[in-house]
Amino acid sequence: SNYDLAYIHLSKGKKKEAQRYFRKALVKQPSPHAYTLLALLYEQDANDLESILQLKEANQNFTTSTEIL
């Protein structure tokens, strides 16, 4: 799955590839955890705007998730 591929790339330090697979996974099967990890990856790349946008989208899609808050 895209989540599996994202985690594999993340474990190898390939952040850009991990981002790509997390984005694909969010299209097919969104989860609060994937949104937060993707936001963190963007933040680590100094892409604060994209990080904030991911968290905002996550909050809209998962209004009751404590992971997003």
**For 46-69, what is the mean pLDDT?**
94
* Cα gap 13→65, rounded to integer Å: 28
Tokens describing residue 20: 């790509």
Instruction: Give the whole-number percent of the chain exceeding pLDDT 90.
Output: 96
* Cα gap 54→44, rounded to integer Å: 14
**For 20-43, what is the mean pLDDT?**
96
* Cα gap 49→2, rounded to integer Å: 24
pLDDT at 69: 76
**For 28-32, what is the mean pLDDT?**
95
